[in-house]
Chain A
Amino acid sequence: MDKYVCTICGHVYDPEKGEPRLDLAPGKDFTDLPDDWQCPVCFAEKNKFVKV
């Protein structure tokens, strides 16, 4: 599973860590997140993320 970085604020989505701020448990691949998922830091859209 790959890490993805937000091109707006630099936040990194690490599937091995999940997103504690969003109560998102570890183990979910970025591509399996819903289309309306947003960056937990700056609320940019999912399509603003790129693979690290």
Chain B
Amino acid sequence: MVSRELVQGVYWVGALDFDRRLFDELIPLPEGTSYNSYLIRGSEKTALIDTVDPKKEEELIVNLIKLGIEQIDYIIINHAEQDHAGSLPMVLEMYPRAKVVTNEKCRDLLVALLQIDPGSVMVVKDGDTLSLGDRTLKFLLTPWTHWPETQLTFLVEDRILFPCDLFGFHQATSELYITDEAGAYRSAKRYYAEIMMPFRNSIKGYIQRVRDLNPAMIAPSHGPINKNPKFMLDAYEDWVSDNVKNVVVLPYVSMHGSTQKLVDHLVGALIERGVMVQPFNLTQTDIGELAFSLVDAATVVIGTPTVLFGPHPQVVSATYLANALKPKVRFASVIGSFGWGGKAAETLVKMLDHVKVEVLEPVVIKGLPDEAAILAINRLADEIAKKHKEIGIL
């Protein structure tokens, strides 16, 4: 479609995907996405950093042809996932003399996922550098910032960091750079929630390393380029910290209205006690928004009716996802209802094995909520407010 110059000799040559609405067949993409690939011309050698999703591989190739790139010496692969490495076979076909440059784990994944010839790969270790003549690339191995093979590449002279998925976000925009930091903060937090949150503790260890590089720009693999790295590094530092906020996230489903009444009452009771609350009716929830809210909430309360003898399957699905994303939530509970019996609360609590939560007494009632049920909800709200006070957030 188009290539754009960041600084003299460094180009964005990726693809914008305005129409994509779902990632991993799971997460909605309200703003589309982009697959950013970058070309760096040194005085001696030319390097390409990451590729694009294979459905856009022609755009990448056309961008390179339009720039008059006759030879690529190195193709740096920071991450083996197909939306970044997937066009590697095509690029290698076009530029057969190019060497793939990546770490050992990534090489093995490229062989497994894309059937790349391992002989075409030059393996680098943490801290290694690669000269392009008047420009130098430095590689930082940062395993488990999403996948086991994830690495960052730093263009030393221009101080541009290419961190692949880390610090990026899903957005297709004609802007090359972030122009709206408030919007970028929100989109990046959502991306962090969906992709990076399970690796919070690994990322914690890399932030200072990135700060020490003092990057002038962060050029990620999704979304616009960031000319104010401090803004994103500060945001990440907050998200990966152990600090939680005075917020209850309340995902729920109600079939015949009983659970809805409990939810409505709990929402009011929490607000009365000064606790912020974000209810999500799962039948109409964008799960990316649910993930977003889990980044720094202190408490999650799951609301479910009983289907046959257990929780509603849509609640099970959301609980499974929330548990897999490993948010830093401290407290959890379940509210819900049943007609004749079942083990909805026990089933959901057992699913929360990846999060370190203190479980507050669930409130699961028979039939339509009566006065006793409302009092039980008030007690749960009291307990949540008490816990939030104990950890100093209320």
Contact = CB atoms under 8 A, between A and B. Distances in A.
A29 B202 CA distance: 25
A33 interface: no
Contacts of B144: 8, 44, 48
Nearest to A48: B144
A44 B353 contact: no
A10 B201 contact: no
Nearest to A12: B353
Nearest to A50: B201
Interface in B201-232: 201-202
A43 B158 CA distance: 35
B325 to A, nearest CB: 12
A10 B148 contact: no
B18 interface: no
B354 interface: yes
A42 B354 contact: no
A7 B201 contact: yes
Interface string A17-52: 000000000000000000000000011110010000
Contacts of B353: 10
A8 B199 contact: yes
A7 B203 CA distance: 13
Contacts of A8: 144, 199, 202
A52 to B, nearest CB: 12
A42 B148 CA distance: 8
Given A8-B202, A10-B354, A45-B143, 5 more contacts: A7-B201, A10-B353, A42-B148, A43-B148, A44-B148
Interface of A: 7-8, 10, 42-45, 48
**Smallest CB-CB A-B distances: 4 pairs:** A10-B354, A8-B144, A7-B201, A43-B148
12 contacts: A7-B201, A8-B144, A8-B199, A8-B202, A10-B353, A10-B354, A42-B148, A43-B148, A44-B144, A44-B148, A45-B143, A48-B144
